[in-house]
Structure 1
């Protein structure tokens, strides 16, 4: 079965930005794009209200995704675009839709003045439970935002892609996450920046005198671990220029900083099959709420 790139569309500006990103990604991957529109039934008393009658329901359940798909076909010729309309709770339906997808793309509002995302309960639930990669895209995200600036300082789709940033703990690397990041960089013809941060020794926290020799030794060991984890992937993807960025400090903060000059940030999430809660881990949570580039959350065992 041919997998598809799936984008959730509800008519909002953030979901439209996600659909555009998904169309560009589908073209890069040579895959079809499926637009999924979820209709959540409203209680009968509300459905009988004048503003929520049959005309309004038809507008949301038929017209918006159909017109969005038509626009995507015009702007992205060569990409096969289909629409699927489903009924139920948005989080559950989108999580189910991701099962047969190459990846699922969702939109999220940007945080004005702060960058990053305003991740709602639906997005968090899908990210926490989907076992396929989920990409979060901010409202207003444009193709040019993923590219380097030209000689006069203007980014455009004609300039090279910015690097892909990978958040990696070399002491527990996962091939699914690393492979996704390298494949994404290779597909874009860009480099990969592997970011690794670790907590400082306790004496920094408590204001005690630092041991510079110990600090240097820890830094050397951690840098060596990162280089070792990346070694087989450098050999597998010789055309991808890899930059290693190990440094002490919060992993989440370091990834957020690196996102400012990234086309995509890739982070991993360990699969937990509990139906309760929407836990994504502190690093993923920090990146989702503060990164200024699209974020791919890749589930792994």
Structure 2
């Protein structure tokens, strides 16, 4: 048995820190919450208010632009049609809005941090352990402070999703820029390119396939959080799965699960397509 005299707890200082944040910066967190919620509701309103057939056509256009594959493009339309026929269209649009918001914020955070990590080794040394914690810490753990700071609803669900989903984008942005051929960078420098011009004109375009792979993983991980997010007030397919669990309705849970799988396949194929050279088939 481990000696009790060597035991220590970090519970009290962490709880005190979170209480201090709520007490002293509650208005700031409310302002952030309101801003995120307004944008999220706007995205959700657009998706839910757009005719279903327009949404399907839009996804088919994206699939065609990303892959140039006729069969895949038609398959995307058929899969989304199945979602609607299962009676899950509205829930799917809610889930898509949550994912879109989380992905946009992840891109705003992840790509700049990935660039900094690639450019400065000291930043990389700090970021990598933090990313390890973010990816390995159970999602329920950071749901608790998110609830305390932002309350129940869509906003803490978005933030919890970001924490879980942003690490792959940071890691692969860092990796993609580091893998750019040094001779290409040296040639750009020799022609008088400034660091910013080299970054945006040479390094980022060459690293784009790797960055898109990171974005793909971020979207997939965000989608895997939909059921957890439903436990703190997020709507959508995750809520339907949760209701199926609570009522032991296997069919209801399976239908929502199929909707999640279809959405994952559609988004995965589209983002993979944009990360690869375009081919006509």
Q: TM-score range by the shorter chain?
A: under 0.3
Bigger helix share = 2
TM (normalized to structure 2)?
Answer: 0.24
TM (normalized to structure 1)?
Answer: 0.23
| Structure with more contact order per residue of length (Cα contacts < 8 Å, sep ≥ 6) | 2
